[in-house]
Amino acid sequence: MSSSECQEILNTLKSYLKMKIQSILENIRFKEIKSGKFNLDVATSNSYNRIQTQNDFDMSGGTTKAPKKPSGAFGFVSSKPDSQEVTKQPHTPETEDELGDDGFHHFITVAIQHQDNPVFPKIHDVVVKKGGEHYLPHYKIEKLISTNKIPKEILDSLFERLFGTKKTKIQAAATLEHAIQSNKFDGIADEHLKHACQILAANKGNFNIDLHFNNFMFRFAGGSYQLVIIDPFLSNLHPED
């Protein structure tokens, strides 16, 4: 057998192995989680986003220490200075029941289905890592502007347009929370905001609403600021045995 024939066989083998490896990786990365308690198969109609699972963290050795990152009530938030997105994850991995009762996770599954409404944050990707009986979601979301970075005069003008009357940020949050909780939306003038609140009310299930002014942020687009709701559902707590 000539050297050229050997090289051709070798190249064919390399190509075959590369295809097999890619096929295995795709099956791992895009395996969708489905169960009675929660359902992540919500992105099938959105070609830009897939829910993924990766078996790449180990819970067998006890509690996994999370990396040091800026944190809040929900969990850890990280972002590179020049990035246009943030990554959020819970403080600790969650069981299936805990993930099903996680208010932020539930909100993300709703938001993914309504990306055409600017009141919902833009979800770039969701990766749910699985280890044993635990799940660790990573949510990649557009970077938004916090309320305290918006000048008061701009907030006043924006709230008046959204609600049809002057409101403080505390009053604005209270109006939104009451609308979602009570299914009464006549206090909201903006159609996008009203529709988003109707969607949240219809999908609140057993979750209580917890919408203070730190649970909405702002997007600057088209020369103006847009209000974005980011975390309206209160998680159902699991008391320890």
Query: What average pLDDT score do residues 6-31 get?
Result: 55
Question: Looking at the structure, do residues 108 and 158 belong to the same domain, yes or no?
Answer: no
Domain boundary among the residues 88, 116, 142 is at 142
Query: By residue range, what is the domain housing residue 106?
Result: 51-142
Please indicate, yes or no, whether the overall pTM of this predicted structure exceeds 0.85: no
- For residues 182-197, one letter each, b for 16 or more C-beta atoms within 10 angstroms of the residue's C-beta and e for the rest, the string is eeebebbebebbbebb
Q: Which long-range contacts (CB under 8 A, 24 or more apart) does 171-177 make?
A: 172/213, 172/216, 173/211, 173/212, 173/213, 173/215, 173/216, 176/211, 176/216, 176/229, 176/232, 177/209, 177/210, 177/211, 177/212, 177/232
Q: Please write the tens of the pLDDT for every residue from 148-161.
A: 999 999 999 999 99
Check if the beta carbon of residue 94 is closer than 8 Å to that of residue 237: no
Domain boundary among the residues 83, 108, 142 is at 142
Question: Looking at the structure, do residues 55 and 135 belong to the same domain, yes or no?
Answer: yes
* Strand pairing class (224-229; 216-221): antiparallel
Instruction: Examine residue 22 and state whether it is found in any structural domain, yes or no.
Output: no
Question: Looking at the structure, do residues 56 and 134 belong to the same domain, yes or no?
Answer: yes
Total domain count, the chain: 2
Binning pLDDT at 50, 70 and 90, where does residue 141 land? Answer: very high
Domain boundary among the residues 142, 163, 178 is at 142
CATH number of the domain at 101, please: 3.30.200
Residue keyed to tokens 């006549």? 186
Question: Looking at the structure, do residues 172 and 138 belong to the same domain, yes or no?
Answer: no
Question: Looking at the structure, do residues 117 and 160 belong to the same domain, yes or no?
Answer: no
Q: Please write the tens of the pLDDT for every residue from 215-241.
A: 899 999 989 999 999 999 988 764 443
Q: Please write the tens of the pLDDT for every residue from 204-214.
A: 988 889 888 88
